[in-house]
Amino acid sequence: MVVPTLAELTAKGETPEVLFWVGCAGSFDDRAKRVTQAFVKIMHATGTRFAVLGNEETCTGDPARRAGNEFLFQMQAMNNITVLNGYQVKKIVTTCPHCFNTLKNEYPELGGNYEVIHHTTFINQLIKEGKIKMKEGGVFKGKKITYHDSCYLGRANGIYEAPRSVLETLDADLVEMKRCRTTGLCCGAGGAQMFKEPEKGRMDINIERAGEALATGATTIAVACPFCLTMMSDGVKGKEKEGEVKVKDLAELVAETQGL
């Protein structure tokens, strides 16, 4: 798979439809890399003209701001905004709700104004436009899937239906956890908690959340965030159910149905 950088396209006088913001997890975490690859395959298969920043992309600064280092956040943000505005970027798609929230809601106050789309919304649009053809009786027919709402996608940005619309096209049985949508429970990684050990308490949040997902009887837990992917996977392992229940990103599920 050839993934062009924005610098390469600009040098040829070409402009992509969308910039794919890969994010730190999608670039460096081995498990999240598979989500990046699945989404790239989907964009290739649908003829979407896209590019990445490559080495010019750095962290959005989200973890720094959540951890209280506002100075570092603004340094990261201004560096990224300078690069994005230099290329006159208008439209960005990302697989990470943390990147999505920061680019969409926090960069404008520093001069970075872009149309930012999460990949679940983007994939849902591709399905509605007929660029991804989902057929009945696919690999997930009759299987139970439950969806875990990412905090930054759901409560922070009100995106609840797009991921579920995608899952419904899989021809699977979508079963909801008791705590979902506006009352969904965090996976335990938000607020920079991903990068530290949890405080002492009755139970780690990801173990509790994984228990709620397992209680639905689903054999697949669908997520739409690399942090949720890690935390829910660890939670399922903590419950010793990793052999029976898989945690997968929506992009991976759609790619599977397409044989990509």
> What integer pLDDT is reported at residue 200 of this predicted model?
79
The model's confidence at residue 137, banded by pLDDT at 50, 70 and 90, is low
Question: DSSP letter string over 101-156?
Answer: HIIIIISGGGT---EEEEHHHHHHHHHHTTSS---SS-TTTT-EEEEPPPTTTTTT
Taking only Cα atoms into account, the Rg of the chain, rounded to an integer number of angstroms, comes to 18
Mean pLDDT over 44-72 rounds to 96
Phi-psi sector, 94: left (phi>0), alpha (psi -120 to 50), beta: beta
Asked whether residue 190 carries a pLDDT value surpassing 90, the answer given is no
Residues 79-92 as b/e (b if ≥16 CB within 10 A, e otherwise) read ebbebbeebebeeb
CA 236/CA 210 separation, integer angstroms: 6
Strand arrangement of the beta sheet that strand 115-118 belongs to: 50-51, 18-21, 91-94, 115-118
Q: How much is the pTM?
A: 0.93
> What integer pLDDT is reported at residue 192 of this predicted model?
66
Between 34 and 190, the higher pLDDT residue = 34
Q: Give per-residue pLDDT as tens, 83-121.
A: 999 999 999 999 999 999 999 999 999 999 999 999 999
Asked whether residue 201 carries a pLDDT value surpassing 80, the answer given is no
> What integer pLDDT is reported at residue 47 of this predicted model?
95
Please give the domain boundaries of the chain with CATH numbers for all domains: 6-124 (3.40.50.1860), 134-257 (3.40.50)
- For the chain, give the percent of residues with pLDDT over 70: 97
Pick from 113, 104, 122, 134: which is nearest to 48 by CA?
Answer: 122
